[in-house]
Amino acid sequence: MLKNYIKIAWRNLKKKPLFSFINVVGLTTGLGCTFFFYLWVSDELMIDRFHKNDARLYQIMEKSTENGNVLIHDHTQGPLAEALEKDFPEVEHAVTVMNLEKEGMKITFTNEEHAYKSAGVFSSSTFFDIFTFPLIEGNRAQVLQEKNNIVVSEQLANKLFGSSQNAMDKSLEYSIFGVNHVAKISGVCEDVPANSTLKFDFILSKTKLLEDIWVNGKEWYNTGPETYVLLKPNTNAALFEGKISNLIDKYDEGNIFSIFLRKFSDGYLYGNYENGIQSGGRITYVRLFSLIAILVLLIACINFINLSTAQVSSRFKEIGIKKVVGTSRSALMLQFLTESIVLSFLATVLAIGLVLLFMPSFNYIT
């Protein structure tokens, strides 16, 4: 019976090509736009949430009052990570990250044959204990133990040495602030995924930074790096935040900073502050485009229903004849529903095709 309903529905749609075309195009366009909105919103909501310990991973933020304004900073003191690990048992790991790309810097690495300019970070030996970027080569507990160690991305390893395996234990030369240095490749990690805000092609040791490049970074009066903590399971983040608020006073009396926690994966969507109070961020766009997607889909549905309803008057004779020969009300309803379902299915297939066709352009735009 269902096969018969589908056959009749298809015949009726073929009998009225203009109606079918307008209805399918309208619904296809609405569904295609909705799919694009959904893909973008889903991608935004997944930024930085791929780390295994996301629920316990926080960034240390600093608050200061300057000229009557409350300011929020993501830059912290160089020794802060060590102090957090030493003073608070709630901290499983703490790590310092000096992001060179945020400072507008890139380093050119050279071997015997090639030279590539790359962006990266300096960080502590516990970097891979906190951030779960997969390693292709090397031991995550040891790759940044030595001062001159460096971990490179798979892409950079392939550029410089042809493969990840060939890159291991090789030496790289680089210059920073006019001083030449040599690093030994102790690990190769997978390329950073697109949904990560922390981007790097390499990771150099924090020890190298503080001993040979930025010696003043050891002092509490200097800020620059970012600090991240992994709290132990079942730690109450709000209580812990209250305990660490005035930690910097212990080491630098009279400073203007207090510290607080921000969930690492919330930083991308909730990055705006006004007078020290969180005031949204990209989450505003996520909500806006979600609402637009719902409205577009609603308009497409209303348009579909209106066009379908407008055709009913032209089918009164068909309905009357069918009722005379004994067709039940439920059978008539099922027939019209089948026609709508066939139209909707066709529009959905075309919308998916539309999305696949324009996906490269969509990715480029967004």
Which helix (H) or strand (E) element contains residue 188? Answer: strand 179-189
Q: How far is CA 159 from the centre of its chain?
A: 26
pLDDT 10s digits, 240-252: 999 999 999 999 8
Per-residue pLDDT, 110: 84
The two tokens of residue 51 are 């780390």
Please, where are the H alpha helices in the chain? 2-15, 17-45, 80-87, 127-130, 154-161, 164-167, 206-208, 237-244, 247-251, 283-310, 316-324, 329-365
Q: How many CA atoms lie within 13 A of 61 on its CB side?
A: 21
Dist CA 59 CA 72 (whole Å): 13
Dist CA 41 CA 36 (whole Å): 9
Per-residue pLDDT, 5: 57
Strands 57-66, 69-73: parallel, antiparallel or unpaired by DSSP?
A: antiparallel
Cβ-count burial of 360 within 10 angstroms (0-12 exposed, 13-18 middle, 19+ buried)? exposed
Residue type, 208: K
Task: Supply the DSSP symbol for 213.
Answer: I
The two tokens of residue 122 are 């300096």
The CA angle 152-156-160, to the nearest 5 degrees, is 110
Per-residue pLDDT, 331: 67
Positive or negative, the CA dihedral 198, 202, 205, 210 is negative
Per-residue pLDDT, 336: 73
- First vs last C-alpha separation in the chain: 47
The answer to whether 201 touches 189, Cβ cutoff 8 Å, is no
Dist CA 178 CA 200 (whole Å): 22
Among all chains, which residue has been given the structure tokens 């009726």? 12
Alpha-carbon distances, residue 230 vs 38, 93, 121, 127, 263 (angstroms): 32, 5, 19, 11, 10
List phi, psi (to 5°) of 70.
Answer: -90, 120
Among all chains, which residue has been given the structure tokens 């209580």? 239
Q: Which regions in the chain score pLDDT beneath 50?
A: none
